[in-house]
Amino acid sequence: MIPLSAKEVVRVPVDDVTYLVAVPTLLSRAVYRRDVQSLGAVYHSDESMLNTLRDGVRECVADDQQGVLIEMINSYEIETKAMAEIGDDANDQERESLKDLQARMGEIESFMQREYDVYNQMSADRGYWLSIAPIMAFRHFVKGWEGSELRYKERGGMLCEALLDAMPAEHIDVVGWKAITLMSPTGGQEKNSESQSQSPADPKTLTAVASLPTKVQAGT
């Protein structure tokens, strides 16, 4: 185990193991981000994803259906920003309103992933980043552990890959995301950003989205 002072590490318990996570520095954050990028992982911002959804609506959906969908995307963007500012002070009505809107957005996203290649690729990019980022954060910032018989070993300044393969996947996920949240006061791109909408689509809302007439189908 590499000796570190208490000020340099955060202890992260997962099950019976406590991981020692180095507090990211300006330099170590830059090295981590370079290595994530070198693997071809790209995180498209929420703003970029929503703008691409709007482009997809204009490109793929029949003209008479576009207005309601773009209005819904706009409402979702406004409400999510408002909820981010309110945080834990949001009331139940506000949470339910956003949850319903997320369900509707889920249907729009699913439709666009099928019909609009640009959005489908961006969604795949984000999914890949969200898979790679915690793994690389675990390798970069975990500097030891307690409660495991495995012996810590580095290679090239990171946890060696053979040890990574021996770790429980759920431990890597929890500890990796904890390391990522330490990179900025607000937690940066956290796991709950995995997609625009996390709630399952409500079959009672936007039932027509899955079979929206595309411009080709509508003969335009």
Domain residue extents for the chain:
1-213
Separation between Cα atoms, residue 64 and residue 51, nearest integer Å: 20
Please state the length of the chain: 220
CA atoms of 155 and 175, how far apart (whole Å): 19
Query: How far apart, in whole angstroms, are the C-alpha atoms of residue 32 and residue 24?
Result: 9
Residue at token pair 């495995």: 150
Query: In the prediction, which pLDDT does 215 show?
Result: 54
Q: Distances in Å between the alpha carbon of 20 and those of 10, 29, 136?
A: 6, 17, 15
CA distance linking residue 90 with residue 115, whole number of Å:
35
Output the pLDDT for position 98.
Answer: 76
Q: Tell me if the pTM is above 0.75.
A: no
CB 92 within 8 A of CB 104: no
> What's phi and psi for 119, nearest 5 deg?
-70, -40
Instruction: Point out the residues of the chain with pLDDT beneath 70.
Output: 1-7, 87-90, 185-220
Measured between alpha carbons, how far is 119 from 56 in angstroms, rounded to an integer?
A: 7
Beta-carbon neighbour count of residue 18 at 10 Å?
A: 16
Give me the pLDDT at residue 95, please: 74
- Specify the pLDDT at position 30: 93
Contacts of 112 (CB under 8 A, 6+ apart): 53, 56, 57, 60, 119, 120
CA distance 196 to 216: 27
Ramachandran assignment for 153, one of left (phi > 0), alpha (psi -120 to 50 degrees), beta (any other): beta
Tell me, what's the pLDDT at 89? 67
Phi, psi of 159 (to 5 degrees): -55, 130
pLDDT of residue 192: 40
**What does the pLDDT read at residue 121?**
95
Distance, CA of 185 to CA of 34 (rounded, Å): 21
Contact 36, 27 (CB under 8 A): no
